[in-house]
Structure 1
Amino acid sequence: MELLFCKSKVFVHPTKSSTDNVGGFLLIYNRKGQSRHDSTLGWIPEGVLDKKQLNWLLHAELKLSSLEKRAMNLDSKILASSSSATWSFSIKLGYLFSIEFRSPSPTGLWYGSVVLHSRTPQEDDTLPVLFFHDDVCPSTKHRKKELSREFNPFTSSGDVYWGGVDFRTAVASLVELKQTFMEPTVWLVNATLDDLRNFSPQLMQKRLDAGEAKPVEGLSLWAKWESARWGIMTKIADATFKTGSLMGTLIRQHPLVKLAERNGDNPYVRKLLENPRVREVQDDFDSARVYLAKWALGVKQQADQYQRTHELSESYRRTLTRELGFDSESDVQFTDEELNKALERKFPVSRQKWESFFDAQGRLALTVNEVKDYIFHGGVEDFATRSEVWLFLLGTYPWDSSFDEREQLNQTLREMYDNNYKSKWLNRSANPDEHEEEYWQDQIFRIEKDVKRNDRNLDIYKYNTHDASAPDVTDEVNQEVDEIRHAGHWEIKNPHLQALKNILVCYNIYNPNLGYVQGMADLLSVVYYIVRDEALSFWCFVNFMERMERNFLRDQSGIRDQMLTLTELCQLMLPQLSEHLNKCDSSNLFFCFRMLLVWFKREFQFPDVCSIWEILLTDFYSSQFQLFFMLAILQRNSQPIMQNLDQFDQVLKYFNDLHDTMDWSDLMTRSELLFIRFKKIMEVMERRREIEVEISDDSGSKATGVQLHDFDDEDNGDREPPCTSKNLQLLLSKKLVVQRESARVKDSIR
Structure 2
Amino acid sequence: MSMELLFCKSKVFVHPSKSSQDNIPGFLIITLEQGQPRQECVLAWVPESALDKKQLNWLYHADLTLGKSELQKLKMGPGTLGGISSMAWSFSIKLGYLYSIEFRVPSPTGLWHGSVILHSKSPQEDDTLPVLFFHDKACPSTERKMKELNKSFDPFTSSGDIYWGGIDFRSSVASLVDLKQTYVDPTVWLVNASLDDLRNFSPQLMQRRLSEGKAKTEVGSSNLWDKWEAAKWGFMTRVADATSKTGSYMGSLIRKHPLVMLAEKNGNNPYVKKLLENPRVQEVQDDFDSARVYLAKWALGVKQQADQYQRTHEIGDSYRKALTKELGFDSQSDVQFTEEELSRALERKFPVSKQKWESFFDSQGRISLTVNEVKDFIFHGGIEDFGTRKEVWLFLLGVYPWDSSSDEREQLDQTLAEIYNNNYKSKWLNRSTHPDAQEEEYWQDQLFRIEKDVKRNDRNFDIYKYNTPDGSAPETKETEDPSEGDKTEESEHWSIKNPHLLSLKNILICYNIYNPNLGYVQGMADLLSVVYYIVRDEALSFWCFVNFMDRMERNFLRDQSGIRDQMLTLTELCQLLLPQLTEHLNKCDSSNLFFCFRMLLVWFKREFEFPDVCSIWEIFLTDYYSSQFQLFFMLAILQKNSQPIIQNLNQFDQVLKYFNDLHGTMDWSDLMTRSELLFIRFKKIMEVMERKSEIEENIPNNDGGKTTGVQLHDFEIEDNDNQTLPCASKYLQLLLSKKLVVQRENPRAKDSIK
Which TM-score band applies after superposition, normalised by the shorter structure? over 0.9
Q: Which residue of 1 aligns with 2:322?
A: 319
Of 455, 458, 463, the match for 1:455:
458
1:368 aligns with 2:371: yes
Give the drift of 1:726.
0.2
- Give secondary structure in 1 for the equivalent of 2:229: coil
Of 76, 89, 100, the match for 2:91:
89
Give the drift of 1:84.
2.0
Answer whether contact 2:488 2:494 (CA < 8 A) is retained. Answer: no
- Give secondary structure in 2 for the equivalent of 1:514: coil
- Give secondary structure in 2 for the equivalent of 1:381: coil
1:446 aligns with 2:449: yes
1:744 aligns with 2:741: no
1:65 aligns with 2:88: no
Of 687, 691, 701, the match for 2:691:
687
- What's the CA shift string for 1:649-685, capped at 9, x where partnerless? 1110110010011111111110000000000000000
Q: Which residue of 2 aligns with 1:233?
A: 256
Q: 1: distance between equivalents of 2:721 and 2:181?
A: 57
Give the drift of 1:570.
0.2
Answer whether contact 2:180 2:190 (CA < 8 A) is retained. Answer: yes
Structure 2 gap segments, 5+ residues each = 214-223, 244-251
Cα separation, partners in 2 of 1:343 and 1:119, compared to 1, 3 Å: same
Q: Which residue of 1 aligns with 2:179?
A: 177
- Give secondary structure in 1 for the equivalent of 2:468: coil
Q: Which residue of 2 aligns with 1:347?
A: 350
1:651 aligns with 2:651: no
The residue identity in structure 2 corresponding to 1:252 is E
Q: 2: distance between equivalents of 1:173 and 1:263?
A: 38
Q: 1: distance between equivalents of 2:86 and 2:269?
A: 40
1:330 aligns with 2:363: no
Cα separation, partners in 2 of 1:610 and 1:475, compared to 1, 3 Å: farther
- Give secondary structure in 2 for the equivalent of 1:581: helix
- What's the CA shift string for 1:261-303, capped at 9, x where partnerless? 6699x7xx56x589xxx38x6455235325564x322222222
The residue identity in structure 2 corresponding to 1:116 is L
Cα separation, partners in 2 of 1:257 and 1:501, compared to 1, 3 Å: same
Q: Which residue of 2 aligns with 1:214?
A: 229
1:203 aligns with 2:205: yes
Q: 1: distance between equivalents of 2:126 and 2:307?
A: 33
- What's the CA shift string for 1:170-200, capped at 9, x where partnerless? 1111110111122211111111111111112
1:399 aligns with 2:402: yes
Of 302, 305, 308, the match for 2:308:
305
Q: Which residue of 2 aligns with 1:242?
A: none
Give the drift of 1:486.
4.7
Give the drift of 1:714.
6.4
Q: Which residue of 2 aligns with 1:110?
A: 112
- Give secondary structure in 1 for the equivalent of 2:36: coil
Cα separation, partners in 2 of 1:178 and 1:287, compared to 1, 3 Å: closer
Q: 2: distance between equivalents of 1:677 and 1:473?
A: 58
Cα separation, partners in 2 of 1:77 and 1:297, compared to 1, 3 Å: farther
The residue identity in structure 1 corresponding to 2:664 is D
Answer whether contact 2:39 2:359 (CA < 8 A) is retained. Answer: yes
The residue identity in structure 2 corresponding to 1:398 is P
TM-score, reference length from structure 1:
0.92
Q: What are the equivalent positions in structure 2 for 1:284-295 lying under 5 Å apart?
A: 285-289=289-293, 291=295, 293=297, 295=298
Answer whether contact 1:571 1:578 (CA < 8 A) is retained. Answer: yes
Q: Which residue of 1 aligns with 2:26?
A: 24
Q: Which residue of 2 aligns with 1:239?
A: none
Of 350, 358, 361, the match for 1:358:
361
Answer whether contact 1:101 1:164 (CA < 8 A) is retained. Answer: yes
The residue identity in structure 2 corresponding to 1:383 is F
Moved more, 716-725 or 531-540: 716-725
Q: 1: distance between equivalents of 2:78 and 2:635?
A: 61
Answer whether contact 1:482 1:490 (CA < 8 A) is retained. Answer: no
Answer whether contact 1:106 1:291 (CA < 8 A) is retained. Answer: no
1:552 aligns with 2:556: yes
The residue identity in structure 1 corresponding to 2:584 is H
Q: 2: distance between equivalents of 1:234 and 1:689?
A: 52
Cα separation, partners in 2 of 1:478 and 1:556, compared to 1, 3 Å: closer
Give the drift of 1:534.
0.2
Cα separation, partners in 2 of 1:14 and 1:254, compared to 1, 3 Å: farther
Q: 2: distance between equivalents of 1:696 and 1:482?
A: 77
Cα separation, partners in 2 of 1:505 and 1:483, compared to 1, 3 Å: farther
Q: 1: distance between equivalents of 2:155 and 2:179?
A: 23
Give the drift of 1:610.
0.3
Answer whether contact 2:266 2:272 (CA < 8 A) is retained. Answer: no
Of 515, 535, 539, the match for 1:535:
539
Q: 2: distance between equivalents of 1:715 and 1:697?
A: 13
Give the drift of 1:54.
1.0
Moved more, 639-648 or 430-439: 430-439
Moved more, 78-87 or 439-448: 78-87
Q: 2: distance between equivalents of 1:158 and 1:58?
A: 28
The residue identity in structure 2 corresponding to 1:506 is C
Answer whether contact 2:184 2:258 (CA < 8 A) is retained. Answer: no
Cα separation, partners in 2 of 1:633 and 1:3, compared to 1, 3 Å: same
Q: Which residue of 1 aligns with 2:419?
A: 416
Q: 1: distance between equivalents of 2:703 and 2:141?
A: 86
The residue identity in structure 2 corresponding to 1:603 is E
The residue identity in structure 1 corresponding to 2:736 is L
Cα separation, partners in 2 of 1:461 and 1:113, compared to 1, 3 Å: same
Q: 2: distance between equivalents of 1:607 and 1:729?
A: 32
RMSD (Å), alpha carbons? 2.7
Give the drift of 1:48.
1.3
Q: 1: distance between equivalents of 2:131 and 2:341?
A: 38
Q: Which residue of 2 aligns with 1:245?
A: none
Of 476, 495, 500, the match for 1:496:
500
Q: 1: distance between equivalents of 2:369 and 2:264?
A: 42
The residue identity in structure 2 corresponding to 1:355 is E
Cα separation, partners in 2 of 1:714 and 1:619, compared to 1, 3 Å: closer
Q: 2: distance between equivalents of 1:54 and 1:529?
A: 50
- Give secondary structure in 2 for the equivalent of 1:737: coil
1:223 aligns with 2:238: yes
Q: Which residue of 2 aligns with 1:240?
A: none
- Give secondary structure in 1 for the equivalent of 2:119: strand
Q: 1: distance between equivalents of 2:400 and 2:657?
A: 42
Q: Which residue of 2 aligns with 1:431?
A: 434
Answer whether contact 1:216 1:224 (CA < 8 A) is retained. Answer: no
TM-score, reference length from structure 2:
0.92
Q: 2: distance between equivalents of 1:145 and 1:45?
A: 27
1:466 aligns with 2:481: no
Q: 1: distance between equivalents of 2:518 and 2:230?
A: 58
Q: 2: distance between equivalents of 1:135 and 1:347?
A: 37
Q: 2: distance between equivalents of 1:641 and 1:230?
A: 60
1:53 aligns with 2:63: no
Q: Which residue of 1 aligns with 2:246?
A: none
Q: 2: distance between equivalents of 1:304 and 1:697?
A: 61
Give the drift of 1:87.
2.0
Q: Which residue of 1 aligns with 2:510?
A: 506
Cα separation, partners in 2 of 1:263 and 1:39, compared to 1, 3 Å: closer
Give the drift of 1:216.
3.0
Moved more, 107-116 or 411-420: 107-116
Answer whether contact 1:39 1:93 (CA < 8 A) is retained. Answer: yes
Q: What are the equivalent positions in structure 2 for 1:677-716 lying under 5 Å apart?
A: 677-696=681-700, 701-703=705-707, 707-713=711-717
Answer whether contact 2:136 2:165 (CA < 8 A) is retained. Answer: yes
Give the drift of 1:360.
1.3
The residue identity in structure 1 corresponding to 2:730 is K
